[in-house]
Amino acid sequence: MRALLRNYVGGAWVETGRTFANINPVNGAKVCDVSEADAATVARAVEAASRARDGDWGRMGDEERAALLRRVADRIEARFDDFLEAEVADTGKSYPQARTIDIPRGAANFRIFADLIKAYPNESYEMTTPDGAGALNYSIRRPLGVVAVIAPWNLPLLLLSWKVAPAMAAGNAVIAKPSEETPSTATLLAEVMDEVGVPAGAFNLVHGFGPDSAGEFLTRHPDVDAITFTGESRTGTAIMKAAAERVKPISFELGGKNPAVVFADCNLDAAIAGVARAVFTNCGQVCMCTERVYVERPIFDRFVRGLKEKAEALTLGRPADTGVDTGPLISAGHRDKVLSYYRLAVEEGATVVTGGGVPRFGDERDEGFFIQPTVWTGLSDEARVCREEIFGPVCHVAPFDTEEEAVRRANDTDYGLCASVWTQNLSRGHRVAKRITAGLVWVNSWFLRDLRTPFGGVKLSGIGREGGIHSLNFYSEPSNICIKL
């Protein structure tokens, strides 16, 4: 790991003289320092991206761009161990998770969109004209121009590449700002872009925070043509206000308070295992994680007992420890936030089925940001912990009596990212899934994704869709050309 992570602007590495610490969440130790981009550095990145948009990168054809993106994927795989160590150091997640999900998907995203851009469909129509000669209309798609890509800390490489790859495939020049909590794999990606010969300015990287830092400088810059962001809904609101001044295109994948609806006719063991995975994966730090669970009353007690057993069987530990199921939260600040909800739940009258505190190890992990997987029951749907996104390894489980009640309560939220339905009645599964207001609904599964399908939320969970051609639709805009014959 490098002692200092720098910004990458116009094909050159840039230091600003101002740094912040990158902290390992497993033990609270400093991983490295990071150069914080100031307003001048962000402005240089926008200028470099504008030159690339109008220069070699902008004139490059789809085939040539696709070939470069495939080389990026190849190079990520060639440097797999470097990316793996960086991802684990920043997030504290286990090696098996990063090795099988985060790094492979980071490479795969570039291949997927390199292939898709070559098969991107356009329209053509013949029409009659008053003189009988006719005319031909056909569409082309133009890149938006300079795109700001702001990525979160929970799946740093995966979600950054999920945006960078289609944006670049469509011909845009990109300025990436990773989370200040997880800057390492983004820096490695900049190295890879440089190594494979991506033209200067086509990919830029700026490090920093949100308000009065790189994030705000980037989203308020008048020459940024579009913004894509994954993260907290309140941050999305601030970015939307900045974008509104120039009516810039935005794509937001924001927070969630995702429900699971478990019917009495489900495969109970599969439902318990599936919901446990949906609650506790990555220490609950996935936008698609489940925080509200509604269980049909005849199986409620058995379900709660089973979920309690799953939670208590989880092994918390270091990334390299054998059999580790979950790591720490990302930071001390985030753990303080989650713990505040743990306390609030008790104040609101919750029954703590399991968890509710901080584990103690008796070693350096006590300086890290671990937290106990937690299950609550006994609260009304109006309790704050049942309405506000917590983003930790926790859920509230409540009984229901009718299908109508379950749907109503699942939809009683300001969010609408995803949901899961557990039933062996296929007709019921289809019927309930259609009625749940969310961008993605699973039936008898969770986290199962075909990357060609649309992904995104409604209400406070976001604007727009990502995935396959839906991503390319955002990062380019159609123009019609009409030729009189």
Active-site residue numbers?
A: 253, 287
The beta strand positions in 128-281, using DSSP E, are 135-143, 146-150, 173-177, 203-205, 226-230, 250-253, 258-262
Distance, CA of 217 to CA of 148 (rounded, Å): 11
Structure-block tokens of residue 409? 């309560």
Q: What is the DSSP letter of 37?
A: P
Residues 6 or more apart in contact with residue 65 via CB below 8 angstroms:
57, 114, 117, 168, 169, 171
Q: Are 456 and 473 in contact (CB under 8 A)?
A: no
Gyration radius of the chain over CA positions: 24
- Contacts within 8 Å (CB) and 24+ apart, 423-431: 423/263, 423/265, 423/266, 424/265, 424/266, 424/267, 425/263, 425/265, 428/263, 428/265, 428/403
Residue 6's nearest CA partner among 25, 22, 26, 30 is 22
Distance, CA of 205 to CA of 178 (rounded, Å): 8
Q: Three-state SS for 118?
A: helix
Sign of CA dihedral 87, 88, 93, 96: positive
Angle at 141 between CA 139 and CA 145, to 5 degrees: 150
Instruction: Region of 247 please: left (phi>0), alpha (psi -120 to 50) or beta.
Output: left
* Token pair 């990525």 in the structure block, residue: 151
* Token pair 């727009």 in the structure block, residue: 464
Q: Are 446 and 141 in contact (CB under 8 A)?
A: no
Question: Do the bridges between strand 258-262 and strand 203-205 make them parallel or antiparallel, or are there none, so unpaired?
Answer: unpaired
Distance, CA of 222 to CA of 186 (rounded, Å): 24
Single-letter amino acid, residue 482: C
Distance, CA of 255 to CA of 388 (rounded, Å): 10
